[in-house]
């Protein structure tokens, strides 16, 4: 008895005592079968083929009869027997037979998947199948022969072993796909799932797609030398491509798309001489090798896909999130693969070099993609030879130059993408193209310029056109409406102007229009008929008119018209029931929100910065709202309409007139951003207690009371802005808010210490100015250790005491350090020199002692050094000149000594303000300050500077042209006023008072160009004025014509403390000097003059009529001079609010026009001026005429006596003799005169940085 054992995976015959008889009977049976086959073959003319089959099977039968068959079968199983196949053998098996097998074994049942290369989806399968017929006819013609072969061809079991070895390399798979692959049924390997064999038991097709396989790829499959199709796509294989596969010379399709392969394409794959499809896309970043030149040997290659996704029809909008990262240049040799119709390098990112011009030889190309790489150079004009090309992708590279006009002749083109490059010039320089079939055109994100490419208007098949992010200018063409099939048109971020063309109404298929960020004008009227429009982006233009043209666009779900000049109401939107997103920020819209009441799908509403009014009540039922921005309008009422908007995540309602409490927000559990600053909200923060997702809170400038305790458990909060309220309590509730990065609690009534902030390691912004915080800065020691990311540390205007911690020097990212207006003492730590990122240090108005650390000269980025109003001693370090970025140095009101000439101002080219007033500095005027070309303020007042001012105008003219404030008062300067001072073109405030200047006022003042400007009315300088005793620190900078400097000037009989210097404020103070001569007529040219003070000089002559031209003059003090004559009637102008003419020799009647005689009291004219008469004096002019006696004026006397003529004549003779004596007395006592004052000039506090409060121009005496 004989039996056939398959348990070992190979056929072996087990003999019994009657084996010879059995073999003989079997041989006769086979001969009988073959005879039947012969007769059938003769009937159909297939004799040769069948006799070939007979011959081969007879040989096998003889082999089976061989007594040594078992031993040789063992050996044959280890070596693959090469059986030749005729050259006309088809490349795949019968589809019908394969379907039957797959259904029997539970395999895939997709007809298209079984037919072809198993690439990505059904559409691609069909495409490739049609291109590579015939593939499956062999099994139908010889199914009966396969049954015989399975039994007899023991020499093919080597292929089964190769498959089993492949299975051993795979760790996991799905659908039990390979479970039947066992050694026990090794002889049936051609029936295994996912395996297709030909009639001679050779594996010709393997399809392992989408089995979620993982594992590695070994050389095992290289033994399947008859393999035609191999599909391993969409798995998780982590491996290199086996080099040995290069021996598969019959392989026509290799698809390993979408795995995690690494390395690159082996050069040996150039030996796959039959390869027609090579698809190795979407492997991720480790597949990063070079593309081998040897691929150019694949003369049969039709598809080479090395990109992210097979996208022949270009309909896939979203590419695979993974792609290869192959690098280096692409081989020119690929140009030899002239059968290529699909060539894709998409998404590798690191392919470089120019695009080979040789690729123009690939004349069969229909799809060509170089997209998302780093190709350089120009687009080869030779690509114009690719006459069959339909899809051309060149986007997202570094290509430059102009777009080649040769490509305009590609008549088959349906898709063109050149976006995201550096292409320049006009996009199309021809009037027309051959692109009549072009459907999609992408030229966005380049540097194209010039007019709109008019050739585009003839591309009537166009459905999508992207041209955004270029430099196109001019208007849109009037015939744009010819693009009747256009569905998406995006031209945002260009420089196009003019109106939307009326013909746009003909583009009735338009669904998406993006016109944002141009210079478009006109209205939205050309959109009225675009009934399919669902998305409109027209932001950042200059569009006018109303929203009425959108009234009937019922499919609109996204509307963005922000930053235009649209007017009218929201009424046209009332019936746009599909609207989901509305952004109309920064327009001029009016009316209420009522038209939005029924837009129930609305989830995004941004209408901030308009003139909308009413309440928020229309939003009550918009339950899908997630983002709401209605700030900077004029809404009133409460937040109650928002109570049930449970999906709300973002609320911006700042800068309205909202009232009430935060209670309506209590249950909005998804709320993450709350911006309600600058309203009239009140109550406490308690409703926020359970908003666990709240991350950002802006509640500043309201009327909130209570403590910060409701914020205690908001563990996600990272920003708290609660400045300018009435909050009390301590900072204790913030102790455990570990995510807190920004805290602004300025301008409240908080108390306690900084201790609760000690461990907030993420804190980057700490603003707690203007509270009642106390204690020391010691907690900052730990904070500086934990959070070296702190950028702003603003603790000014509190009650802190003690020393400044040296550990603050470890805050390497600190930009602003504000500790002014506290009670800090001790020295300035030299460790502050380690603040390498610091922009401003303000330690003013404390009780700091010691010197200014010379080490501060290392701070290269410091712009503001504010140390005023302390007890600092010593000299000013010359090393400060090394801080080349310094703009403002404020050292006033200290006890500094020495000079300033040691500072090399030549290095401080950015300096805008230098103030050292109120110290004990001496020496000469620092001539090197002339090099500070940006200098706007120079204040050396109230020191002991002496000598004459250098008269080097020829040197200073180019460098002090920006100077707006010059204060040299209360020093010991003498000599004449140098000519360069009268030629400073931007000068607004000149204070030379309380010195010993002599000489006359020059007659030519034309150099003071700033004083001659009349740019605003005199009222611009006005405001509510009051005397203030304390200064407000302001730092020097220019904002809209204002010099943001706090200075003091003597005017209107008092000291005026100005918080900033308007461009319309002009003041000259020459008082308390020894200037003489007449008041120059050139003074009339200074038409912008606001304040003029010349008191206590030796000016003589009459008051000139030039005051008639000084239309802005508000304060005039000419007292204590030698002026004579009558008071000019021009001084009766109503704008002149302060006048002092006392201690002169004026005479005649006081003018009465404009109530002049009643606007001023007697102190404006007396003492002195005894020859004046009329109101408000008691002396009438009639009585004055009857009295022949003279009048006199005595400088400095408390009152005047009427003296007879003889005595007066004697007094005049004695003047020359006593003048010298008087001068000596004046000089000797000048420093202690009651009039002497120190003018203050200091920096502004931290509020300047963060608040836009009302800054009064000046404060007038009450």
Please write the tens of the pLDDT for every residue from 836-858.
999 999 999 999 999 999 999 99
Mean predicted confidence (pLDDT) in 1127-1142: 87
Higher pLDDT, 105 or 1054: 1054
Tell me the two tokens of residue 278. Answer: 């090579």
Helix, strand, or coil here: 7?
coil
Confidence category of residue 1051, pLDDT binned at 50, 70, 90: low
Mean predicted confidence (pLDDT) in 1159-1167: 86
Mean predicted confidence (pLDDT) in 28-37: 49
In the prediction, which pLDDT does 246 show? Answer: 96
User: ∠686-796-715 over CA atoms, to 5°?
Assistant: 30
User: Of 1215, 1049, 1041, nearest to 1117 (Cα)?
Assistant: 1049
In the prediction, which pLDDT does 296 show? Answer: 96
Q: Are strands 604-606 and 214-215 parallel, antiparallel or unpaired?
A: unpaired
User: Of 1089, 1092, 1085, nearest to 1070 (Cα)?
Assistant: 1092
The contacts of residue 1054 (CB under 8 Å, 6+ apart) are 1027, 1260, 1261
Helices (H) and strands (E) in the chain, counts: 15, 71
Residue 970 phi, psi dihedral angles, 5° rounding? 55, 50
**Rounded distance between C-alpha atoms, residue 1006 and residue 984, angstroms:** 10
Domain 1002-1207 in this protein, CATH class: alpha beta
Confidence category of residue 312, pLDDT binned at 50, 70, 90: low
pLDDT digits (tens, 9 = 90+) for 247-256: 999 999 999 9
DSSP category for residue 829: P
Residue 282 phi, psi dihedral angles, 5° rounding? 55, 60
Residue by residue, DSSP assigns 1154-1214 as: GGHHHHS-GGGT-SS-TEEESTTSSS-HHHHHH--------TT-SS-----HHHHHHHHHH
Least confident of 298-312, 1018-1032, 1191-1205: 1018-1032
**Rounded distance between C-alpha atoms, residue 555 and residue 532, angstroms:** 6
Q: Does residue 663 surpass a pLDDT of 70?
A: yes
In the prediction, which pLDDT does 1055 show? Answer: 67
Element (DSSP H or E) covering residue 113: helix 111-115
Q: Are 981 and 990 in contact (CB under 8 A)?
A: yes
Least confident of 101-115, 227-241, 1176-1190: 101-115
Helix, strand, or coil here: 965?
strand
Q: Left if phi > 0, otherwise alpha if psi is -120 to 50, otherwise beta: which for 660?
A: left
Helix, strand, or coil here: 99?
helix
Mean predicted confidence (pLDDT) in 109-133: 40
The contacts of residue 694 (CB under 8 Å, 6+ apart) are 671, 672, 673, 674, 688, 714, 716, 717
In the prediction, which pLDDT does 1111 show? Answer: 85
Overall size of the chain counted in residues: 1262
Please give the CATH architecture assigned to the domain spanning 116-135+197-506.
Answer: Alpha-Beta Horseshoe (3.80)
pLDDT digits (tens, 9 = 90+) for 332-372: 999 999 999 999 999 999 999 999 999 999 999 999 999 99
Tell me the two tokens of residue 800. Answer: 């802190």
Q: Does residue 1110 surpass a pLDDT of 90?
A: no
In the prediction, which pLDDT does 310 show? Answer: 65
Q: Does residue 49 surpass a pLDDT of 60?
A: no
CB atoms within 10 A of CB 315: 9
Q: Kindly list the domain boundaries of the chain, sorted by start residue.
A: 3-78, 116-135+197-506, 1002-1207
Residue by residue, DSSP assigns 1090-1120 as: -EEE--SSEEEEEPPGGGGG-TT--EEE--S
Element (DSSP H or E) covering residue 606: strand 604-606
What is the distance between the terminal CA atoms of the chain, rounded to a whole angstrom? Answer: 134
CA–CA distance from 572 to each of 547, 553, 561, 594, 596 (Å)? 6, 10, 14, 11, 10
DSSP category for residue 792: E
**Rounded distance between C-alpha atoms, residue 618 and residue 598, angstroms:** 8
Classify residue 504 as exposed, middle or buried by CB count within 10 Å of its CB (0-12, 13-18, 19+).
buried
As a whole number, the mean pLDDT across the chain is: 81
Residue 114, CB-side half-sphere exposure with 13 Å CA sphere? 21
DSSP category for residue 916: -
Report cis status (omega within 30 of 0) of the bond before 134.
yes
pLDDT digits (tens, 9 = 90+) for 585-615: 999 999 999 999 999 999 999 999 999 999 9
Q: Does residue 10 surpass a pLDDT of 50?
A: no
Q: Does residue 675 surpass a pLDDT of 90?
A: yes
Q: How far is CA 715 from the centre of its chain?
A: 28
User: ∠112-115-118 over CA atoms, to 5°?
Assistant: 70
Element (DSSP H or E) covering residue 1249: helix 1247-1250
Confidence category of residue 653, pLDDT binned at 50, 70, 90: very high
116-135+197-506 matches 1002-1207 in fold: yes
In the prediction, which pLDDT does 283 show? Answer: 92
């Amino acid at each position: 008895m004989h039996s056939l054992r398959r348990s070992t995976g190979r056929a072996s015959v087990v003999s019994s005592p009657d084996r010879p008889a059995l073999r003989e009977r079997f041989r006769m049976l086979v001969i009988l079968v073959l005879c039947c086959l012969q007769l059938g073959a003769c009937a159909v003319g297939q004799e040769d083929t069948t006799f070939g089959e007979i011959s081969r099977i007879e040989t096998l039968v003889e082999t089976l009869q061989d007594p040594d068959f078992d031993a040789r079968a063992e050996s044959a199983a280890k070596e693959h027997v090469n059986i030749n196949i005729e050259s006309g053998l088809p490349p795949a098996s019968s589809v019908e037979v394969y379907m039957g097998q797959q259904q029997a074994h539970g395999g895939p049942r997709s007809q298209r998947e079984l037919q072809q290369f198993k690439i990505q989806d059904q559409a691609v399968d069909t495409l490739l199948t049609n291109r590579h017929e015939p593939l499956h006819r062999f099994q139908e013609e010889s199914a009966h022969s396969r049954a015989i072969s399975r039994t007899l061809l023991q020499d093919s079991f080597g292929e089964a072993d190769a498959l089993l070895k492949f299975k051993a390399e795979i760790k996991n798979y799905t659908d039990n796909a390979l479970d039947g692959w066992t050694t026990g049924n090794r002889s049936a390997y051609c029936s295994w799932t996912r395996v297709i064999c030909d009639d001679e038991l050779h594996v010709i097709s393997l399809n392992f797609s989408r089995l979620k396989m993982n594992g590695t790829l070994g050389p095992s499959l290289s033994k399947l030398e008859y393999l035609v199709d191999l599909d391993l796509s969409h798995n998780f294989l982590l491996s290199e491509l086996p080099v040995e596969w290069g021996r598969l010379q019959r392989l026509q399709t290799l698809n390993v798309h979408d795995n995690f392969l690494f390395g690159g394409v082996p050069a040996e794959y150039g030996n796959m001489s039959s390869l027609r499809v090579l698809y190795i896309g979407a492997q991720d970043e480790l597949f990063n090798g070079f593309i081998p030149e040897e691929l150019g040997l694949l003369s049969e290659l039709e598809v080479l896909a090395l990109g992210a996704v097979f996208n022949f029809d270009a309909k896939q909008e979203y590419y695979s999130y993974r792609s290869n990262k192959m690098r280096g240049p692409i081989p020119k040799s690929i140009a030899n693969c002239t059968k290529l119709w699909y060539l894709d390098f998409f998404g590798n990112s690191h392919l470089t070099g120019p695009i080979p011009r040789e690729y123009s030889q690939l004349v069969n190309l229909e799809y060509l993609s170089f997209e998302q790489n780093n190709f350089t150079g120009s687009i080869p004009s030779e690509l114009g030879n690719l006459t069959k090309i339909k899809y051309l992708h060149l986007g997202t590279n570094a290509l430059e130059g102009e777009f080649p006009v040769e490509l305009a002749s590609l008549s088959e083109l349906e898709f063109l993408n050149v976006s995201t490059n550096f292409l320049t010039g006009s996009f199309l320089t021809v009037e027309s193209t051959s692109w009549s079939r072009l459907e999609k055109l992408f030229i966005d994100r380049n540097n194209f310029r010039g007019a709109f490419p008019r050739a585009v208007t003839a591309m009537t098949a166009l459905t999508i056109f992207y041209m955004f992010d270029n430099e196109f200018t001019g208007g849109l063409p009037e015939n744009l409406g010819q693009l009747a099939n256009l569905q998406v048109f995006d031209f945002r971020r260009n420089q196009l102007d003019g109106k939307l063309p009326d013909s746009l109404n003909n583009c009735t298929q338009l669904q998406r229009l993006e016109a944002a960020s141009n210079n478009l004008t006109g209205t939205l009227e050309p959109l009225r008929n675009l009934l399919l429009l669902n998305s409109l982006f027209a932001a950042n233009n200059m569009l006018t008119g109303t929203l009425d043209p959108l009234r009937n666009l019922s499919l609109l779900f996204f509307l963005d018209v922000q930053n235009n000049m649209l007017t009218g109401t929201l009424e046209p939107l009332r019936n746009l029931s599909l609207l989901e997103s509305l952004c109309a920020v920064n327009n001029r819209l009016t009316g209420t929100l009522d038209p939005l009441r029924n837009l129930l799908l609305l989830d995004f509403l941004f209408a901030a910065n308009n003139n909308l009014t009413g309440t928020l009540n229309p939003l009550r039922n918009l339950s899908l709202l997630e983002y709401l921005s209605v700030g900077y309008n004029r809404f009133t009422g409460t937040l109650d309409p928002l109570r049930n908007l449970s999906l709300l995540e973002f609320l911006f309602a700042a800068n309205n007139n909202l009232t009430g409490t935060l209670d309506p927000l209590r249950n909005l559990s998804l709320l993450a951003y709350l911006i309600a600053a600058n309203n009239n909200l009140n109550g406490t923060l308690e409703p926020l207690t359970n908003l666990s997702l709240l991350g950002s809170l802006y509640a500043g400038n309201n009327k909130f009371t209570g403590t910060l305790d409701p914020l205690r458990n908001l563990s996600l909060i990272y920003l708290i802005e609660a400045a300018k309220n009435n909050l009390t309590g301590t900072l204790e509730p913030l102790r455990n808010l570990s995510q807190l990065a920004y805290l602004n609690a300025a301008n409240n009534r908080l108390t306690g210490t900084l201790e609760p902030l000690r461990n907030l390691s993420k804190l980057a912004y700490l603003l707690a100015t203007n509270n009642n915080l106390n204690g020391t800065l010691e907690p900052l020691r730990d904070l500086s250790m934990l959070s070296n990311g702190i950028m702003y540390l603003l603790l000014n205007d509190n009650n802190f005491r003690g020393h400044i911690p040296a550990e603050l020097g470890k805050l390497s990212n600190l930009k602003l350090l504000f500790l002014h207006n506290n009670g800090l003492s001790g020295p300035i730590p030299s460790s502050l020199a380690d603040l390498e990122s610091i922009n401003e240090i303000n330690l003013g108005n404390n009780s700091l002692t010691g010197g200014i650390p010379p080490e501060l000269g290392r701070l290269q980025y410091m712009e503001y050094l504010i140390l005023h109003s302390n007890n600092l001693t010593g000299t000013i370090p010359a090393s400060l000149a090394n801080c080349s970025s310094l703009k403002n140095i404020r050292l006033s009101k200290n006890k500094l000594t020495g000079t300033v000439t040691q500072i090399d101002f030549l290095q401080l080219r950015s300096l805008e303000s230098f103030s050292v007033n109120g110290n004990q500095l001496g020496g000469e005027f620092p001539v090197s300050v002339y090099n500070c070309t940006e200098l706007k303020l120079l204040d050396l007042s109230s020191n002991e500077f002496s000598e004459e001012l250098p008269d080097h105008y020829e040197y200073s003219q180019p460098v002090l042209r920006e100077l707006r404030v010059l204060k040299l008062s209360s020093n010991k300067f003498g000599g004449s006023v140098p000519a360069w001072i009268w030629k400073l073109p931007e000068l607004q405030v000149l204070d030379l008072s309380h010195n010993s200047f002599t000489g006359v006022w020059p007659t030519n003042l034309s150099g003071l160009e700033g004083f001659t400007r009349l740019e605003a009315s005199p009222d611009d300088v006005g405001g509510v004025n009051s005397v203030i005793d304390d200064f407000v620190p302001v730092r020097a900078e220019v904002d809209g014509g204002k010099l943001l400097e706090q200075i003091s000037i003597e005017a209107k009989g008092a000291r005026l403390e100005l918080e900033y210097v308007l461009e319309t404020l002009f003041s000259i103070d020459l008082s308390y000097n020894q200037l003489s001569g007449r008041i120059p007529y050139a003074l009339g040219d200074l038409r912008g003059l606001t304040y003029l003070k010349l008191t206590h000089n030796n000016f003589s002559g009459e008051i000139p009529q030039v005051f008639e031209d000084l239309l802005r003059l508000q304060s005039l003090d000419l007292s204590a001079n030698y002026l004579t004559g009558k008071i000019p009637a021009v001084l009766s102008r109503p704008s002149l609010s302060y006048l002092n003419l006392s201690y002169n020799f004026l005479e005649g009647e006081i003018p009465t026009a404009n109530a002049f005689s009643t606007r001023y009291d007697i102190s404006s004219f007396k003492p002195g001026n005894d020859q004046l008469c009329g109101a408000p004096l008691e002396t009438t002019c009639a009585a004055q005429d009857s009295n022949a006696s003279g009048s006199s004026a005595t400088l400095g006397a408390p009152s005047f006596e009427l003296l007879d003529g003889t005595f007066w004549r004697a007094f005049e003779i004695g003047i020359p003799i006593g003048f010298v004596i008087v001068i000596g007395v004046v000089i000797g006592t000048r420093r202690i005169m009651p009039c002497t004052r120190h003018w203050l000039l200091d920096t502004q506090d931290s509020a300047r940085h963060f608040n836009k409060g009302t800054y009064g121009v000046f404060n007038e005496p009450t």
